[in-house]
Structure 1
Amino acid sequence: MLVVITALPGTLEEKDCEAHETYAKERGIDLKFHHIGKDIFQVAKEHQIEVAPDNILDIDHEKLDLCRTIVLERKAQAIADRQRKNDQRNIDVLRTHANFIWNDVARRPWYTRDILALKPDVFITVVDDAEKILDRLNQRSQWSRWDFALKDILNWINMEVNTTDDWANLTGKPFRIIPKTAPPKFLYQILCKPEAEIVYMSMPLTFAYDPSTQRKVDDLVKFLEKYFTIIDPRWIDPLAASKGRDFDRAVYNNVVNRDLEWFVRQSKRVIAYFPKIVLSSGLVIEVYNAFISTKDTWLIWPKGKTISPFSKQYAREVFYGLDELKRHVKENFKEIR
């Protein structure tokens, strides 16, 4: 299997790749990340092209295209050799970028035809909280000079997602969006357990963030992970880190887009959990959005509490309490093996 993973600089780091490789190896899968960017410097050196790492995107376009072409040809051959040895147990991941913003101009690292010629099986974009990415970029001399604003990073993330989604669409292959903070189990199940349903876990976040409530959510997620590939929106929650600060329209708009257009969209069902009755516009809208997309929508309502007809209208199943939900799952779904 060949996977193309894209991400902004400052998102997917070596330690993240190593964690994914280790998790897969413990389960008998040889998952290998190929960092194409590093190989470009080696090719440049072989062809006596002097490149300062911080300034590589200033290089003559023809020289950079030459290095990229050679790198992709070598990677394609190396991956083909690995796949022939054990196609069922080897997963090769090309780690790269789909876009750059350099000198205030959007730049493409690759021609689409070159990526598609590799014939990837899956396309993935890894995303993170934009403010965290901005902080990391500002600590690197290559990027700090451009004085990015938070809105620049938000737009860049969307460019990365959209370009990678286009690559997948052109090839008819699956496209997934994975938070950087998702545990290695999530990527492993996406690649190795495709039969497991992807489920978006909807919950009150803004008004139910107290520790006792979150422990209830943790316990439910832990149970559901035995049966489904769970997307937990708490993996990226910029609003949790910004409580008490001024409203930022761009951040809020991107939170809505992320949850509805990225996470809910790629899920087969949405399980919405009210650990207690609080205002949760996000949960209600997520359930409604999933419902009109013909997805399965489950609502877990506090046992013994009256439910509004509007809360119930767009839930295909309503469970009154966790015990009722767990009993239904155990009776109708098999644990992931």
Structure 2
Amino acid sequence: MVKVIICTGISGSGRKEYLDRFAEYSGKLGKKVKVYHVGQMMIERAKRDGLNITPKNILNTNRHTMQALRSGVYESILRNFKEDHKKHDLIVVSIHGFFYWKKTFHHSYDHHYIARFKPDLFITVMRDPVDVRETLSAREQWKRERLGEEEISLWQNVETEVIATWAEFSGCPYYAFFNVQRLCTLFKLVFLPEMESTYISMPMTHMMDGVNRARVDRFIKKLEQYFVVFVPNINKGKIPKVSQELSKRNHAHYTNSYQMVKVDLDILLHQSKRIIVFFPKEVSSPGVINELREAHETNKEAWIIYPSKSASPFLIYYYDRSFLNERQFFLFLENEKKNVPRFKHKLD
């Protein structure tokens, strides 16, 4: 049966590029994917209809004109739906939920059409605010906005919260992940919905060196055979240091820090069925402890790979099963999942 996805992402998120690569990737695995990039279609339709609407200034357009233009594009997509259902395995309607333009938020959706698309799934593609800022600052449309990382973080926060609400009202699953997430993630969510999802947790501060990063990457790659794996982002932004001046600072100083916690706990972990924690080496990690506690209190199974028989009681309290190393863990997993089909295709 053909499925329909509503996919969103803020400007500069890499959503279009991710979806185009996903369509190509899916084709190699025998699945035909049709992607409608609504923003691009609006520009093309405006040009065809003789409207003086340019990519640089489209967000200055009268909102009634924008709504009419957007509705015309949605109607053209719906007219093609019957034929699309015959020729494709998946239809993706790629749209914006919100724009942050001239320091104000502007919604860019229509509930009426969202319902008419009858989506099976809602997706938001996120991106590191540093990368979004660099991408937008190079675009003619966004140069004058001079968006900071904090503004981009908040914009992305609004986008995910609103789209999650759409999904809830529509009775559909909702997932959000970063644009660097492997293409197999979306493929498994769509075409292998029975595959269990997991959040991979790790002591981020202590894995930035190349050796440990490579170990984690190999671990995740092998884990992909058994799960849909949601991977946290290693934030590129500057995190304020704790100091004696902490009490004098306001919350704005910590926007990126707060958003990092929000994404990991309330989005990536929340949408996963379980948590798997991998310690490349024996260290203390407040982030991991908090993620384990959140998983524990929301009744998610927690497995941990920790390279020592001695660990903090606060670590022990929150996990369900522990392993000393990767080899021990994957031997267990092979037996635990022996009757479950593995994903043995390329991950990207």
Alignment partners' CA distance in 1, 2:313 and 2:12: 46
Equivalence for 2:306: 301
Q: How does 1:1-337 map to 2 (within 5 A)?
A: 1-12=3-14, 14-83=16-85, 85-86=86-87, 90-233=89-232, 236-239=233-236, 242=238, 249-303=254-308, 305-333=309-337, 334-337=340-343
Rounded to whole Å, the distance in 1 between the matches of 2:328 and 2:296 is 21
Aligned pair count reads: 329
Structure 2: unaligned runs, 5 residues or longer: 243-252, 344-348
| Equivalent pair of 2:98/2:108 in contact (CA under 8 Å) | yes
Q: 1:223 aligns to what SS in structure 2?
A: helix
8 Å contact kept, 1:34–1:95 = yes
> Which structure 1 segments of 5+ residues have no match?
none
Distance 1:64 1:218 in 2: 44
- How far off its partner does 1:30 sit? 0.6
Q: CA deviation at 1:133?
A: 0.4
Which AA in structure 1 matches 2:129? A
| Distance apart, 1:119 and its partner CA | 1.0
Q: What is the Cα-based RMSD across aligned positions, in Å?
A: 1.8
Given that 1:127 and 1:157 are in contact with CA atoms closer than 8 Å, whether structure 2 keeps it comes out as yes
How far apart, CA to CA, are the structure 1 residues paired with 2:163 and 2:82? 22
Which residue identity lines up with residue 235 of structure 2 in the other structure?
Answer: P
Paired with 1:179 and 1:33, the residues of 2 have a C-alpha distance of 19
Deviation at 1:297, TM superposition (A): 0.5
Superimposed CA distance per residue, residues 9-39 of structure 1 (whole angstroms, 9 cap, x where no aligned partner)? 1112544333211110011101121111121
Secondary structure of the 2:94 match is strand
Give the conservation status (yes or no) of the 8 Å contact 1:201–1:270: yes
What do residues 25-54 of structure 1 show as CA deviations (whole Å, max 9, x unaligned)?
A: 011101121111121123223433221221
**Alignment identity in percent?**
26
| AA at the equivalent of 1:336 | R
Tell me, in whole angstroms, the C-alpha distance in 1 between the residues paired with 2:5 and 2:172: 10
Rate the CA distance shift 1:81–1:219 in 2: closer, same or farther, 3 A: same
* Equivalent residues of 1:207, 1:279 under 8 A apart: no
Summarize the Cα distance change of 1:274–1:76 in structure 2 as closer, same or farther, 3 Å threshold: same
Q: Distance in 2 between matches of 1:143 and 1:107?
A: 15
TM-score when scaled to structure 1? Answer: 0.92
Give me the whole-angstrom Cα distance separating, in 1, the residues matched to 2:31 and 2:225: 20
Q: Do the aligned residues in 1 keep the contact of 2:8 with 2:15 (CA within 8 Å)?
A: no
Letter of the structure 2 residue corresponding to residue 328 of structure 1 = F
**Residue pair 2:8, 2:95 contacting (<8 A) in 1 also:** yes
Q: Which sits farther off after the overlay, 247-256 or 20-29?
A: 247-256
* Mapped partners of 1:50, 1:313: distance in 2: 63
Amino acid at match of 1:35: H
Write the letter of the residue equivalent to 1:212: V
Closer/same/farther in 2, CA of residues 66 and 254 from structure 1, 3 Å limit: same
Cα distance in 2 between the residues matched to 1:14 and 1:292: 36
Worse overlay, 257-266 or 13-22: 13-22
Within 2, Cα distance between the matches of 1:215 and 1:62? 52
Give the conservation status (yes or no) of the 8 Å contact 1:8–1:97.
yes
Q: 1:216 to 1:44 in 2, by over 3 A?
A: closer
Normalised by the size of structure 2, how large is the TM-score? 0.89
**Partner-residue secondary structure (3-state), 2:80:** helix
What is the SS of the residue equivalent to 1:34?
strand
| Offset, 1:246 | 5.7
Quick check: 2:289–2:314 contact (8 Å CA) kept in 1? no
| Mapped partners of 2:142, 2:171: distance in 1 | 34
